[in-house]
Amino acid sequence: MNNSCLVIGAGMTGLTAARVLQQNGWQITVLDKGRGVGGRLATRRFEQGKADHGAQYFTVRTPEFRKLVSELEAAGVAREWNLPNSEYPRFVGTQGMSAIAKFLAKGLNVHTNERVVKLTPNADGCTANTEAGNQFSASKIIITAPAPQAVSLVEESELILTSTELNGLASIGYAPCLAVMVVLNRPTILPFGGLKFANGPVSWLADNHQKGISSPQTILTIHASADFSRQHLEEPLEEVGARLIEHLQEWIPAEHVVSFQTHRWRYSLAEKRFPAPFLATQKPFTLLFGGDGFGTGNVEGAFQSGLQMANHLLNQ
């Protein structure tokens, strides 16, 4: 079990780390509490279309990420999205952002619907116990869940971290986001397919049809601002969704709305991040923490976190 790793979380960070380690001969198991892979690389299907309701696009700045994106482009999984006023090229999943995660997960041993509730040290490393009553063991552990969830798991497992390590995890702060997917009965005239708002309750509006992932149906994605999301996070989703749609009646006339769904992201954007791409501990087994709350953040930062954790284990 020396070259085995259990990865908790099947988002960009976890899948990247798992993929690199497996390519180097490691035995990998990925666990995720959700029904599918991707985390905030999330796409929801409707009867005649799809909508990205988590990450909307990603930029490319580093050569390592550029290499992966070239692979995604060659496979027809990602393409450039020419939005204005961007210093770096922006990319989207050709069939939705979740398709990128599914591509990364190919060939990996991934178990979904497995919420890890406790980590127990053993002679060779660690055993993860899940809510479903299953156990998975490995010599190394990578946790990519949002920092508050990672800290809760550490506490439930009665693992002892140093005050510096705990303070580092506690320093990470996230903004929530309420996301609304709106099905329309006609096309929109949204410029470029995506529109940012500097003020007010809405921060982002996108047309998934113009984006190229929803055909023939027009489905819009609304992201509420961080302030609005904090104020209304626990309110009934249908009520806050209707309020956001009403605010955008210039772009979304009520008579064109067929239906809508609202999703609550508690940990959407890492506003305060740990400065390094990951945090490594030895308490009492090799345990690494990473994700988009580490390093530069966003999709590329999540990739870099996973890559750097894998390289750290390979170089030990």
SS3 of residue 219 by DSSP: strand
**Structural element, H or E, at residue 310:** helix 298-315
- pLDDT the model gives residue 151: 96
Largest CA-CA distance found in the chain, in angstroms, rounded: 64
* Fold for the domain defined by 174-271: Polyamine Oxidase; Chain A, domain 2 (3.90.660)
Q: Residue 56 and residue 203: Cα distance in Å, rounded?
A: 12
- pLDDT the model gives residue 279: 98
The model's pTM is 0.95
- pLDDT the model gives residue 232: 98
- pLDDT the model gives residue 86: 72
DSSP β-bridge partners for residue 182:
220, 260
**Could you please report the per-residue DSSP string of 60-74?**
--SHHHHHHHHHHHH
> Where are the CATH 3.50.50.60 domain residues in the chain?
4-45+101-172+274-315
CATH assignment, 4-45+101-172+274-315: 3.50.50.60
Over pLDDT 70: what percentage of the chain?
A: 100
Mean residue pLDDT of the chain comes to 95
In sequence order, the 6+-apart residues with CB closer than 8 A to the CB of 173 are 270, 271, 272
Q: Residue 36 and residue 151: Cα distance in Å, rounded?
A: 23
Over residues 107-128, the mean pLDDT reads 96
- pLDDT the model gives residue 246: 96
- 164, with CB counted inside 10 A (0-12, 13-18, 19+), is exposed
CA angle (145, 149, 155) in 5-degree steps: 125
Q: Residue 32 and residue 110: Cα distance in Å, rounded?
A: 8
Over residues 48-76, the mean pLDDT reads 96
Q: Residue 44 and residue 38: Cα distance in Å, rounded?
A: 12
Q: How confident is the model at residue 83 (pLDDT cuts 50, 70, 90)?
A: confident
Q: How confident is the model at residue 1 (pLDDT cuts 50, 70, 90)?
A: low
> Where are the CATH 3.90.660.10 domain residues in the chain?
174-271
Over pLDDT 90: what percentage of the chain?
A: 87
pLDDT tens, residue by residue, 180-231: 999 999 998 888 888 999 999 999 999 999 888 978 889 999 999 999 999 9
pLDDT tens, residue by residue, 133-169: 999 999 999 999 999 999 999 999 999 899 999 999 9
Buried/exposed code over 242-255 (b: 16+ C-beta within 10 A; e: otherwise): bbbbebbeebbeee
Helix, strand, coil percentages (3-state) for the chain, rounded to 5, are 30, 35, 35
CA angle (238, 244, 249) in 5-degree steps: 120
Over residues 292-297, the mean pLDDT reads 96
| pLDDT at 124 > cutoff 60 | yes
The DSSP symbol for 274 reads: B
Over residues 65-72, the mean pLDDT reads 97
**Structural element, H or E, at residue 140:** strand 140-143
pLDDT tens, residue by residue, 101-116: 999 999 999 999 999 9
- pLDDT the model gives residue 300: 97
- pLDDT the model gives residue 87: 77
Residue, of 192 and 235, whose pLDDT is higher: 235
Q: Residue 107 and residue 19: Cα distance in Å, rounded?
A: 9
